[in-house]
Amino acid sequence: MTTKRMARLAVAIVCLAAVAACTVINTAVIQPGRGPLITSGDVSRPYQSLGLVQATRKGVLLFGFIDVVGTDLQYGFNEVLTPLVRQMGGDAAINVRFHQTQYLPITKVLFVIPFFFIPLPTEFTVTAEVIRFTDGGASWAPNQAPPPAPPSEQ
């Protein structure tokens, strides 16, 4: 290989690594109406706080990509946080904060090819305040107004 060709290859690899390093995005889809409301903010409906909850799930990534335990956001919210909210008798989890171990794509690729025998440690931690709505309606839908307050006795 010529020096000029090797220089082009090196520039291409550096550019690919730089672009791949900026593409770490994690999302979780929580369908309204199929479980408790989960939000990173507060709610406008009246509620009673049932307490704080924190859960951590630890595992490993095999070959840089295979999550054997389930430490991604989707699993964390659906299989860790939602059952805790239901167990406490809550209607919602508010002020949700989470942390997940993140690896750049180039790191994951390195653990597929030369370091495939070393698993990458991974962890998901979620903290939230569990609440119960006090206005009489436990169900929540995104485009639905809260139920009317019961009439006051006079």
What are the structural domain ranges in the chain? Answer: 27-133
Assigned token pair, 57: 């799930």
State which H helix or E strand residue 16 sits in: helix 3-20
Question: Please, which pLDDT band fits residue 15 given cuts at 50, 70 and 90?
Answer: low
Stretch 58-83: mean pLDDT: 83
Average per-residue pLDDT in the chain?
78
Compute CA 3 distance to the chain's CA centroid, rounded to the nearest angstrom.
46
pLDDT in the model for residue 101 = 81
pTM across the whole model: 0.66
Instruction: Detail the DSSP E strand segments found in 27-151.
Output: 37-38, 47-62, 66-67, 92-100, 120-133
Q: What is the CATH code for 27-133?
A: 3.30.110.70
Which residue type sits at 49? S
Share of the chain above pLDDT 90, in %: 22
Question: Please, which pLDDT band fits residue 144 given cuts at 50, 70 and 90?
Answer: very low
